[in-house]
Amino acid sequence: MEAYGCCKVLKEDNLISWDGETPFSTVYDDIYYSKGSGVEEVEHVFLQPNRIRERFLEGETSIGELGFGTGLSFLVTWDVWIECGKKSPLNFYSVEKYPIDAKEFERIDGHWPDLKSLSSLLRLETSELEEGWNKFSFEDSSICLHLWVGDVNDFLNEMKKQSKKIDSWYLDGFSPSKNPEMWVGDVMSLVADCSIEGTTFSTFTSVGQVKRNLRQAGFQVEKIPGFGKKRDMLAGEKQSG
């Protein structure tokens, strides 16, 4: 691990409660993923709309994520990267304001038996985090996880300052009604600043204000079928200009 922050993260107590077997954020009063179908949700909401398999076969890929949470989206993406033959480097940039305590992960990871080997490696590497940038390398450095611990605005401004450009965005910061700061126009503008023409995004939400913020930031946006009982979600790509 390479850590670029200045101090250890001060862990919050009682970040997670349990709704049956589903982890529930006490900070945002929302679930981390759908009950009993987290892996399938990641596939439907993030991998398919962003054409992740296609990107892995084309060459080096940079994925950005707002809301690392349990790390499930990263793990599913890693698993698909292996499925695609490990042919191209992957840089995965994510942000998490409230990292989950390591002791909670044993119960969480128990729900993803097919990802157990990958989740064990991830938990081992990320057991100690610093505020700011933390970098972790996997698969002989073919995969790099760049995890920012702190505020989303600081994360995106650092990305912009370092001229990082993302190919696909997973916008996964809890419900806009529960975590409105993640979905405001200024955040979506910074997302656009870290994107190129043709950068794709997807998100579970279909809230009108989020759609308007993304469009104002320069993204083409459309509603597509949501996951499970959710009728709609948003996906699209960065336009020129």
We report the CATH number of the domain holding residue 82 as: 3.40.50.150
Confidence check: pLDDT of 31 > 90: no
Q: Does 3 fall in a domain?
A: no
Q: Does 207 fall in a domain?
A: yes
Residue with tokens 């909401």: 45
Question: For the residues 42-46, what does the mean pLDDT come to?
Answer: 97
Q: Does 103 fall in a domain?
A: yes
Confidence check: pLDDT of 36 > 70: no
Q: Does 227 fall in a domain?
A: yes
The pLDDT-based confidence of 10 (bands split at 50, 70, 90) is very low
Average pLDDT over all residues of the chain: 91
Cα distance between the two ends of the chain: 38
pTM: 0.93
**Residue 1, pLDDT score:** 52
Distance of CA 189 to the CA centre of its chain: 17
Distance between CA 180 and CA 215 in Å, rounded? 17
Distance of CA 51 to the CA centre of its chain: 15
Picking from 94, 91, 97, 95, the residue whose alpha carbon sits closest to that of residue 78 is: 91
Range of the domain at 125: 8-238
DSSP characters over 227-241? STT--EEEEEEEPP-
Q: Does 1 fall in a domain?
A: no
The pLDDT-based confidence of 68 (bands split at 50, 70, 90) is very high
Residue with tokens 């990082």: 164
The pLDDT-based confidence of 137 (bands split at 50, 70, 90) is very high
Q: Does 122 fall in a domain?
A: yes
Calculate the CA dihedral of residues 51, 53, 59, 64 and round it to 10 degrees: 60
**Residue 202, pLDDT score:** 98
